[in-house]
Amino acid sequence: MFTGIVTDIGAVRSVEMRGDKRFVIGCAYPAASIAIGASICCSGICLTVTDKGSDGDGEWFAVDASAETCSLTTAAGWEAGTRLNLERALKVGDELGGHIVTGHVDGLGQLIEAQEDGASWRYTFEAPDALAPFIATKGSITIDGVSLTVNAVEGARFGINLIPHTQSETTLGGLVAGQAVNLEIDVLARYVARLKDMT
C-alpha cells in the first residue's frame, strides 16, 4: 500500500531479459534499509525487490516485471536512463499525505496537452473509455505513481494542475504531449461502482 507521495526519483540502470524483464534501478534509498521481498512503487507499478546493492555509482535495487505487467504498463518502454517516481511501502503510523494507492495499474492514459497556468501547469490527459466513469472532478487519481486531484472531466479527458513542487520533485514535469502514463483510479471509486452494480 502506498500514498502517491513520491520520495525519490530513480533511474533505470540496466534492463535484462531473464524470462521476465529484470530492471536494476538506481536510487537514493540506502540499500541496507531495503529488504529483499519489499514492495516499491515504481512510477505507479508495485514491484518486488529481488536484489539490492551499493557500488561506485550509488545505491540500487532490482525488480522483475512479468510479460503481463509490461503489456499493461509503461514498463514495456523502460530502458537505461528512464527516470522513475519511487515510493516505498506505507508503514503503520506513517502520514497519509496523498490517498490510498495500491500500485495496481488500471490502464494507460495519454497526455493530450500542457498549458501554463500561472506558476503551475494545466495538463489534460485522456483515459481509456473503460476507466472514464471512475474519474470525477475533485476526486483523486494516480498518474505514474503521483497522487493528484482531478480538476475537470469531459468524457474520457480530465485535467489536473501541477504546482512547481510537483513539477520538480516528480517526473511529471518532463512529460510531453502524446506520452503514455500509468493510471490508477481511486480505490474508493472502484468499490462504489462495484456496490452499484450489485444493487
Domain boundary among 39, 57, 88: 88
Output the pLDDT for position 192: 73
One domain, residues 189 and 114 = yes
Q: How far apart are CA 136 and CA 117, in angstroms?
A: 21
One domain, residues 126 and 184 = yes
Output the pLDDT for position 194: 64
What's the structural domain count of the chain? 2
Asked whether residue 130 is domain-assigned, the answer is yes
CATH (domain of 183)? 2.40.30.20
Half-sphere exposure of 110 (CA within 13 A, CB side): 7
Q: How far apart are CA 10 and CA 26, in angstroms?
A: 5
- Which letter, b or e, does each residue of 73-101 get, where b requires 16 or more Cβ atoms within 10 Å of its Cβ? bbbeebeeebebbbbbebeeeeeeebbbb
Asked whether residue 2 is domain-assigned, the answer is no
Domain with 122 in it: 107-198
One domain, residues 112 and 189 = yes
One domain, residues 60 and 113 = no
Output the pLDDT for position 190: 72
For residue 52, the SS3 value is: strand
Residues of the chain with pLDDT below 50 are none
Q: How far apart are CA 122 and CA 164, in angstroms?
A: 11
114 and 50 Cβ atoms separated by less than 8 Å = no
Asked whether residue 95 is domain-assigned, the answer is no
**Per-residue pLDDT tens for 75-131?**
999 999 999 999 999 887 777 777 889 999 999 999 999 999 999 999 999 999 999
Output the pLDDT for position 99: 87
